[in-house]
């Protein structure tokens, strides 16, 4: 018989990660973990205490979803006695009653009062250059985790995959409802990723992964006034693990409220689902969780958002179309990359079949773009693991496009990185080119450092708390650093946290949050940073916690230091070339060029100075061998790719709309003009 473990009963008195618990509405749902007896014991305990056992939650071993048969009263109170009775069972190690936690989408309403300049419409993440490598997201499955989504929209219906769609809130198959009030964000995010209509008169947007399989996962309910969204831990866990063997990317444009005063994140079960998903999802390659990092602006910090700051998620920020910081994007040390929210490829998006709306603003749009680009990379190389994807972003994002080099820091591994931009702007061409020849990185090590004694103290305005940890471990190439800290402060927003590595890289783990004006806690809160990526962590780490303006001392306990990385520098990192290649890349060959200084041969992928005779110029150099097409009477022609990996040709006299799926080109010996409408002259 298994030894009885200490049972954790989670209720209002004990649950301290959220800031809304005092007003939480509890539900009839419970998460119950049973360490012996399996499904049979779960059924027995459920019947004994008046529950239905709805089965395991996600793929978690021995964690079950119980539903109380007798409904709660209108006050939806916490059932403390029931929780204690469940914990009295020898096989029960966790009993958590569910409550409705407020959640917020990461798009900006028109009434937000935030003016976002569009900037240059020529600012690009080189999506068309990625498309030119015959990539479209084919055979990649992307699930948009959100509210109701208008899956029958003209742009979405052909790519919609019912088999990867689910209503986790109602625990039922997705039922299509046209409720525009609730579908705007999710529908627009979905269209940025997977819109399939390539013609201007049919659509306002071509999705980045326009041949991907698109799924819709609903998680939200609404309060009685229909003004606020909410979700429970179980609902989030079900959605983020649904069909994880076939869903490649979970795109998330929601999270904790962006008030600048909230500290919230995934709860007990969802935290486990994220950690389990990166090891078990996609047949062991790991589910890829993309997360919008929030719209709280410079007075907030996504370190206080446990979704965006998890090591298992890809935290995405937004910049303006001219490469400057957006007015709403939150800085934080967990941010991996950014994308422009006003991009020339995506002109407008719509949530109504008859009209085009303005392009989606906020980090929702940026996260959706990144999800689409990752889908292209997975098509180029389906063997990529979740960590390979993070590595590819770190080593292909372009910091030089940020137009704000003052915010960049060079870490001890020589990577340019910042709290504002992560490792830079997503570069779709570089990412898919690198992905084709990527070698999987070694398995990750997670090494909790040995903590010195007496890691508790106080921090005041005049005397910050400081401690030094000497790490001597197996990891020599660092990916993530996680520091778990408990803090009690008044006000909580005055707390600032800094971490300096042995290489001398000084990172702000948490900046002060002036809107967080009440007394509060960070209870065993994990502060995570990617800004030390590639450094050797061995040596002294210095943690400093300051209490900026408060007259009241803050109580601090450092709970844990944790390093994530590998034994040695991955072999694939040693093959990384310089960003631009004039012809071939040193000794490794042209296939390792992220991008070419002048042109790339569309047939051989080789970087070349100029297009040879018989080729025409359109970012890449094309000829009839690289773009097979039927004979045309006119020199102007286009091709349409109707199915994945199948090229179908067609001829057109007037080629006025040029996207990758309908590419204007010229017969051999002719050049396409700058407007991509006419052929003339002889290509040299």
List the chain domain ranges.
8-102, 126-404+413-436, 445-566, 611-680
Q: Of 408, 332, 412, 338, which is closest to residue 373 (Cα–Cα)?
A: 338
Average pLDDT over residues 626-655: 42
pLDDT beyond 90 at 67? yes
pLDDT of 118? 40
pLDDT of 454? 81
Could you tell me if 218 and 146 are in contact, meaning their C-beta atoms sit under 8 angstroms apart? yes
| Separation between Cα atoms, residue 651 and residue 635, nearest integer Å | 9
pLDDT of 350? 42
Alpha helices of 205-336 — where are they, by DSSP H?
233-241, 268-280
Of the pLDDT bands very low, low, confident and very high (cuts 50, 70, 90), residue 310 is: very high
pLDDT of 483? 98
Report in angstroms the alpha-carbon separations of 171 from 99, 175, 219.
16, 11, 9
- Beta bridge pairs of residue 254: 105
Of the pLDDT bands very low, low, confident and very high (cuts 50, 70, 90), residue 221 is: confident
pLDDT of 379? 97
Report the range of poorest mean pLDDT among 119-133, 185-199, 370-384: 119-133
The CA-based angle 173-97-19, given to 5 degrees, is 100
Task: Quickly name the fold that domain 126-404+413-436 has.
Answer: Rossmann fold (3.40.50)
Alpha helices of 102-218 — where are they, by DSSP H?
127-131, 180-194
pLDDT of 476? 98
Per cent of the chain over pLDDT 90 is 56
| Separation between Cα atoms, residue 508 and residue 498, nearest integer Å | 4
pLDDT beyond 50 at 39? yes
Q: Of 554, 559, 496, which is closest to residue 520 (Cα–Cα)?
A: 554
Report the range of poorest mean pLDDT among 256-260, 312-316, 410-414, 587-591: 587-591
Q: What is the pLDDT of residues 287-300, one digit of tens each?
A: 999 999 999 999 99
Average pLDDT over residues 195-200: 60
DSSP 3-state assignment of 617?
Answer: strand
Number of H helices, E strands in the chain: 9, 39
Report in angstroms the alpha-carbon separations of 581 from 200, 297, 402, 609.
35, 37, 21, 10
Average pLDDT over residues 648-665: 44
Assigned CATH for 445-566: 2.60.120.260
Of the pLDDT bands very low, low, confident and very high (cuts 50, 70, 90), residue 592 is: low
Q: What are φ and ψ of residue 189, in 5° steps? A: -60, -40
Of the pLDDT bands very low, low, confident and very high (cuts 50, 70, 90), residue 599 is: confident
pLDDT beyond 60 at 15? no
| Separation between Cα atoms, residue 95 and residue 491, nearest integer Å | 32
Q: Which helix (H) or strand (E) holds 620?
A: strand 620-622
Residue with token string 């000794």: 587
Q: Of 473, 465, 497, 470, which is closest to residue 483 (Cα–Cα)?
A: 497
Of the pLDDT bands very low, low, confident and very high (cuts 50, 70, 90), residue 590 is: low
pLDDT of 620? 65
pLDDT of 581? 59
Q: Is 304 exposed, middle or buried (0-12, 13-18, 19+ CB in 10 A)?
A: buried
- Comparing 123 with 464, which gets the higher pLDDT? 464
Q: Is 6 exposed, middle or buried (0-12, 13-18, 19+ CB in 10 A)?
A: exposed
Q: What are φ and ψ of residue 221, in 5° steps? A: -115, 180
Could you tell me if 193 and 367 are in contact, meaning their C-beta atoms sit under 8 angstroms apart? no
pLDDT of 362? 87
Of the pLDDT bands very low, low, confident and very high (cuts 50, 70, 90), residue 121 is: very low
Phi-psi region of 538 (alpha: psi -120 to 50; beta: other; left: phi over 0): beta
Of the pLDDT bands very low, low, confident and very high (cuts 50, 70, 90), residue 656 is: very low
pLDDT of 8? 64
For the chain, the straight-line distance linking the first and the last C-alpha, in angstroms and rounded, comes to: 80
Could you tell me if 334 and 315 are in contact, meaning their C-beta atoms sit under 8 angstroms apart? yes
Of the pLDDT bands very low, low, confident and very high (cuts 50, 70, 90), residue 119 is: very low
- Comparing 80 with 96, which gets the higher pLDDT? 96
| Separation between Cα atoms, residue 213 and residue 137, nearest integer Å | 8
| Separation between Cα atoms, residue 110 and residue 310, nearest integer Å | 30
Q: What is the pLDDT of residues 361-396, one digit of tens each?
A: 789 999 999 999 999 999 999 999 999 999 999 999
Q: Of 603, 639, 637, 638, which is closest to residue 621 (Cα–Cα)?
A: 603
DSSP 3-state assignment of 351?
Answer: strand
**194, two tokens:** 């997977």
Could you tell me if 484 and 559 are in contact, meaning their C-beta atoms sit under 8 angstroms apart? yes
- Comparing 577 with 102, which gets the higher pLDDT? 102
| Residue burial 599-627, b: 16+ Cβ < 10 Å; e: rest | bbbbeebbbbeebeeebbbbebbbbeebb
- 304 Cβ contact list (under 8 Å, min separation 6): 256, 262, 263, 264, 510, 513, 516
- Beta bridge pairs of residue 500: 506, 542
- Residue 613: how many CA atoms within 13 Å on its side-chain side? 0
pLDDT beyond 80 at 660? no
Could you tell me if 418 and 443 are in contact, meaning their C-beta atoms sit under 8 angstroms apart? no
| Separation between Cα atoms, residue 219 and residue 238, nearest integer Å | 9
* CA 180 from centroid of its chain's CA atoms: 25
DSSP single-letter state for residue 652:
-
pLDDT beyond 50 at 343? no
Of the pLDDT bands very low, low, confident and very high (cuts 50, 70, 90), residue 635 is: very low
DSSP single-letter state for residue 17:
S
pLDDT of 22? 38
Q: What is the pLDDT of residues 527-573, one digit of tens each?
A: 999 999 999 999 999 999 999 877 899 999 999 999 999 999 999 98
Q: What is the pLDDT of residues 467-526, one digit of tens each?
A: 999 999 999 999 999 999 999 999 999 999 999 999 999 999 999 999 999 999 999 999
Q: What is the pLDDT of residues 82-97, one digit of tens each?
A: 989 999 999 999 999 9
Q: Kindly report whether the peptide bond that precedes residue 491 is cis, defined as omega within 30 degrees of 0.
A: yes
Let me know how long the chain is.
684
Query: Mind giving me the DSSP string for 112-143?
Result: S--------TT----HHHHHTTT-S-TT-EEE
pLDDT beyond 80 at 204? no
pLDDT of 610? 74
Mean of pLDDT over the chain: 81
CA dihedral angle for residue 269, residue 271, residue 274, residue 279, rounded to 10 degrees: -90
pLDDT beyond 70 at 644? no
pLDDT of 125? 72
Task: Quickly name the fold that domain 8-102 has.
Answer: Alpha-Beta Plaits (3.30.70)
pLDDT of 477? 98
Residue with token string 């890289």: 505
Could you tell me if 566 and 454 are in contact, meaning their C-beta atoms sit under 8 angstroms apart? no
**471, two tokens:** 């790490």
**332, two tokens:** 């934080």
- Beta bridge pairs of residue 63: 33
């Amino acid at each position: 018989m298994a030894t009885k473990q200490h049972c954790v009963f989670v209720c209002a008195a004990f649950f301290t990660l959220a800031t809304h618990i005092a007003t939480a509405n509890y539900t009839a749902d419970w998460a119950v973990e049973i360490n012996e007896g399996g499904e049979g014991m779960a059924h027995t305990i459920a019947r004994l205490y008046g529950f239905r056992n709805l089965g395991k939650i996600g793929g978690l071993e021995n964690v079950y979803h119980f539903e109380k048969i007798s409904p709660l009263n209108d006050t939806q109170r916490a059932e403390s006695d029931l929780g204690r009775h469940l914990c009295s069972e020898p096989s029960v190690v966790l009993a958590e009653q569910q409550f409705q936690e407020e959640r917020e989408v990461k798009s900006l309403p028109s009434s937000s009062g935030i003016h976002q300049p569009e900037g240059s419409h020529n600012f690009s993440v080189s999506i068309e250059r990625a498309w030119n490598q015959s990539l479209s997201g084919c055979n990649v499955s992307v699930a948009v985790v959100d509210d109701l989504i208008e899956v029958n929209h003209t742009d979405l219906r052909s790519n919609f995959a019912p088999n990867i769609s689910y209503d986790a809130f109602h625990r039922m198959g997705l039922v299509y409802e046209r409720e525009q009030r609730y579908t705007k964000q999710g529908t627009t995010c979905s269209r940025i990723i997977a819109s399939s209509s390539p013609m201007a008169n049919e659509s306002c947007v071509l999705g980045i992964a326009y041949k991907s399989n698109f799924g819709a996962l609903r998680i939200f309910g609404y309060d009685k006034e229909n003004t606020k969204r909410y979700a429970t831990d179980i609902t989030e866990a079900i959605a983020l693990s649904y069909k994880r063997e076939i869903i490649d990317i979970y795109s998330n444009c929601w999270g904790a409220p962006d008030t600048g005063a909230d500290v919230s994140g995934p709860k007990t079960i969802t935290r486990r689902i994220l950690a389990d998903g990166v090891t078990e999802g996609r047949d062991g390659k790991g589910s890829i969780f993309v997360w919008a990092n929030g719209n709280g602006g410079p007075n907030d910090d996504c370190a206080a958002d446990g979704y965006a700051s998890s090591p298992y998620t890809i935290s995405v920020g937004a910049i303006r179309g001219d490469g400057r910081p957006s007015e709403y994007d939150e800085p934080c040390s967990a941010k991996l990359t950014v994308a422009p929210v006003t991009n020339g490829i995506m002109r407008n998006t719509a949530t109504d079949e008859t009209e085009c709306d303005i392009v989606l603003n906020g980090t929702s749009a940026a996260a959706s773009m990144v999800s689409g680009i990752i889908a292209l990379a997975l098509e180029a190389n389906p063997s990529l693991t979740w960590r390979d994807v993070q590595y590819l972003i770190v080593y292909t994002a372009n910091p030089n496009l940020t137009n704000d080099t003052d915010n960049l820091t060079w870490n001890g591994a020589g990577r340019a990185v910042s709290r504002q931009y992560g490792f830079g702007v997503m570069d779709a061409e570089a990412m898919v080119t690198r992905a084709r020849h990527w070698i999987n990185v070694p398995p990750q090590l997670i090494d909790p450092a040995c903590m010195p004694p007496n890691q508790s103290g106080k921090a005041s305005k005049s005397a910050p708390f400081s401690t030094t940890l000497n790490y001597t471990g197996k990891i020599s190439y660092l990916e993530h650093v996680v520091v778990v800290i408990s803090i009690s402060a008044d006000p909580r927003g005055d707390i600032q946290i800094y971490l300096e590595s042995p290489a001398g890289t000084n990172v702000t783990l948490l900046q002060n949050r002036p809107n967080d004006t009440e007394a509060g806690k960070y209870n065993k809160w994990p502060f995570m940073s990617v800004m030390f990526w590639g450094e050797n962590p061995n040596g002294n780490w210095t943690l400093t916690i300051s209490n900026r303006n408060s007259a009241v001392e803050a109580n601090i306990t450092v709970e844990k230091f944790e390093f994530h990385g590998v034994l040695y520098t991955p072999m694939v990192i040693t093959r990384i070339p310089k960003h631009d290649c004039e012809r071939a890349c040193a000794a490794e060959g042209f296939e390792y060029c992220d991008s070419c200084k002048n042109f790339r041969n569309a047939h051989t992928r080789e970087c070349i100075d100029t297009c040879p005779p018989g080729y025409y110029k359109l970012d890449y150099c094309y000829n009839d061998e690289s773009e097979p097409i039927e004979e045309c009477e006119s020199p102007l022609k286009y091709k349409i790719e109707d199915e994945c990996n199948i090229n179908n040709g067609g001829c057109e006299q007037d080629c006025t709309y040029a996207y990758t799926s309908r590419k204007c080109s010229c017969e051999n010996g002719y050049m396409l003009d700058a407007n991509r409408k006419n052929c003339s002259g002889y290509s040299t």
